[in-house]
Amino acid sequence: MSWDLLILLLLIGAIWGSFLNVCIHRIPLEESIVRPRSRCPGCRHTIAWHDNIPILSWLILRARCRHCQQPISPVYPLVELITALLTVSTLYRFGLTPTGVALTALGYALITLTMIDFHHYILPDVITLPGIAIGLLLTVLPGTAPPLASWQNGLIGVTAGGGGLWLFGWIFQKITGKEGMGLGDVKLTAMLGAWLGWQALPLTIFGAAVIGSVVGIGWILLSGRDRSLPIPFGPYLALAAWGYLHLGPAIYGWYLGRSLAWF
């Protein structure tokens, strides 16, 4: 991949990140993601295009609204930066192919779901349900290849994955008496199963449980966070799925003592 292309993909990724910011803020409020143009949440001034350039505007404006001087959250440029890096790394790894583009789109959905879940403790159906359908559709489209699932593995992923996590949550609830798993988590797992196949799910769920426990315990210890508050699980599912995407065959292969290709 040439440097020109790399920089172009970074720019395109940052612009997509800007759009994901809109989705992250408006979808939980059930607002249109197309109109109206972005406004300052403080003074409701419409943001001019030159104050809405991904990452750069935040730096130039020194993290403050031009009109009311209210601070602008660093989460905005952070989402843009993460989206840009995800775009480049995914297309670099899986190529400028239908599979690479599809996996980049999956990454965008996961970034959006992660940020919404952190903030609102929900994983909106308007993302996960079409996500399941699109994932299954991709399995039968010509030109798609592993690590996207075959249609058999995708279908098993949706049913066994969604059902398996539901069961996991049910057992967790029986043991701890707390609701451990929302239906949103079940639908997100089904979505990951549709895209990446059932083979992705054991490592993804196990990885998410480990990451979630470490982060959750750290959070309670460091910030004195109330332990009765819910801990979102979606972000850890998303993160673990992304880890699987890059390391899955290596981890399974190490476990089985031989090298593996994608399933």
Task: For the beta carbon of residue 64, count every other beta carbon within 10 angstroms.
Answer: 14
Query: In 173-202, which positions are buried (b, 16+ CB within 10 angstroms) versus exposed (e)?
Result: eeeeeeebbbebbbbbbbbbbbbbbbbbbe
Name the residues that contact Zn ion, by CB under 5 A: 40, 42-43, 65, 67-68
Inter-residue contact 183 to 146 (CB < 8 Å): no
In angstroms, give the least distance from the CB of 64 to Zn ion: 8
Shortest Å, Cβ 66 to Zn ion: 7
Choose between 25 and 187: whose C-beta lies nearer to Zn ion. Answer: 25
51 vs 185, beta carbon nearer Zn ion: 51
Residues ≥6 apart with Cβ < 8 Å to 87: 9, 10, 12, 13, 16, 104, 107
Query: Whole-number minimum distance, CB 52 to Zn ion, in Å?
Result: 13
> In the complex with Zn ion, which residue's Cβ is closer, 26 or 172?
26
User: Amino acid identity, residue 24?
Assistant: I
Q: Where are the alpha helices (DSSP H) in the chain?
A: 3-26, 56-60, 75-94, 98-120, 125-140, 151-156, 162-176, 183-196, 201-223, 234-256
Nearer to Zn ion, 41 or 218 (CB): 41
Measured from the CB atom, the residue of 7 and 43 that comes closer to Zn ion is 43
Report in angstroms how near the CB of residue 67 gets to Zn ion at its nearest.
5
CA neighbor of 196 nearest in space, from 233, 156, 169, 165: 156
Q: Give me the least distance between CB of 40 and Zn ion, in Å please.
A: 3
